Every structure is written in C-alpha cells, then in structure tokens.
C-alpha cells in the first residue's frame, strides 16, 4: 500500500513540475482608469511616494505597516520601504525614471513573503479633459512563480487591488486633492 501511495505522489509531483515548466518566463499585470483631471494632477499623486498612503490598496490591508522614506520626496531616487503583516509583506520601491506627466517607472524589491524584483510603471495620457492612467508591472517568472501560478492567478489577485488603488487616485484627484 505504501508503494502505491509513493508512486501516486511521485506522479503528482512530476505532473506539477511538467505543468509549471510550460508557464511563461515573464509576467505582466496591467490596469487602467480614466480620470477627469489633467495629467499633471494625476502625476503628482504617484510621483510623490508620501501620497501613496492615501490611495494605496495595501495601506488599507495593514494600517499598522511601517513605512520609511529616503532620497528625494518625489521623482527619481525617491524610495519607500515597508514592513507589514502577511498581507503586505516587506520590501521597497524606488523611482528609477520620472518624466513629468508622461511616465513613472519603479523598481520593486520584495523581501517577504518571498524575495522577488520587478518593474512597475504608471503612464499618463491626456484624453480630452481626462487622463488615462495605466498601472503595469512586469518581471521574470522564476520556477517558484511558475508553480504558484498553477494555484493562484496573480493577474486577478493583484489586478483587483490595483483597480481599488486606481479608483482611490481617481476619487482624490477629482475631489481636488
């Protein structure tokens, strides 16, 4: 009986490994929102990392998370580090490119619950009297990430939080914040 259990277990592991190896080497998550404000107003909410607490979906997941800031308050070199509960983890983000009213690019370094690095971007496009704000993240999908993608959908999980964040930015900016 033990032999049968071990054989079934080994086969299950091999199937999971085979399925994981077929997953993409890269991942990307993207969400967008139309905001009734000029790009400069929307850009200011994202480019100043100290504004993030007002709209970040992760600030609501752990109001007791510890955030620290270094470098300039806004623009290239601005850095925010966080340490929170198991819902927000621990890590840092640094603005590596900031083109006023057009693009902000971040390097994200996650430490907990697992180590990973990725690139996130916000783009701002004028559309009549509105701004189309696009939030995206991309990175390498290592083997652990490929296995995890078999049991959870990162796009749906993170995308839902981004939709909350974009809605919060929209509400703040459209209220004149």
Q: CATH for 26-174, among 2.40.50.100, 3.30.530.20, 3.90.180.10, 3.40.50.720? A: 3.30.530.20
Count of alpha carbons within 13 angstroms of residue 13, beta-carbon side? 6
Closest CA to 157 of 66, 29, 69, 59: 29
Contact 167, 39 (CB under 8 A): no
Query: Region 39-49: what's the mean pLDDT?
Result: 95
pTM of the model: 0.79
List, for residues 51-63, the tens digit of each pLDDT value. 998 999 888 888 8
List, for residues 66-90, the tens digit of each pLDDT value. 999 999 999 999 999 999 998 889 9
Q: Tokens 């939030």 identify what position? A: 135
pLDDT tier, 150 (very low <50, low <70, confident <90, very high otherwise): low
The four Cα atoms 69, 71, 72, 78 give a dihedral, to 10 degrees, of -70
């Amino acid at each position: 009986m033990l032999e049968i259990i071990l054989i079934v277990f080994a086969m299950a592991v091999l199937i999971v490994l085979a399925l994981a190896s077929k997953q993409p080497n890269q991942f990307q998550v993207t969400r967008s929102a139309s905001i009734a404000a000029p790009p400069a107003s929307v850009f200011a909410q994202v480019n100043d990392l100290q504004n993030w607490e007002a709209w970040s979906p992760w600030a609501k997941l752990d109001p007791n998370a510890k955030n620290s800031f270094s470098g300039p308050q806004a623009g290239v070199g601005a850095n925010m580090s966080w340490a929170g509960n198991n819902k927000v983890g621990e890590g840092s983000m640094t603005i590596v490119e900031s083109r006023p009213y057009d693009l902000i690019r971040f390097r994200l370094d996650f430490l907990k619950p697992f180590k990973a690095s990725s690139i996130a971007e916000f783009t701002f496009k004028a559309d009549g009297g509105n701004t189309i704000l696009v939030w995206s993240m991309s990175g390498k999908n290592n083997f652990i990430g490929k296995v995890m993608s078999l049991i959870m959908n990162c796009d749906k999980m993170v995308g839902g939080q981004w939709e909350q964040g974009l809605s919060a930015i929209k509400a703040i900016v459209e209220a004149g914040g």
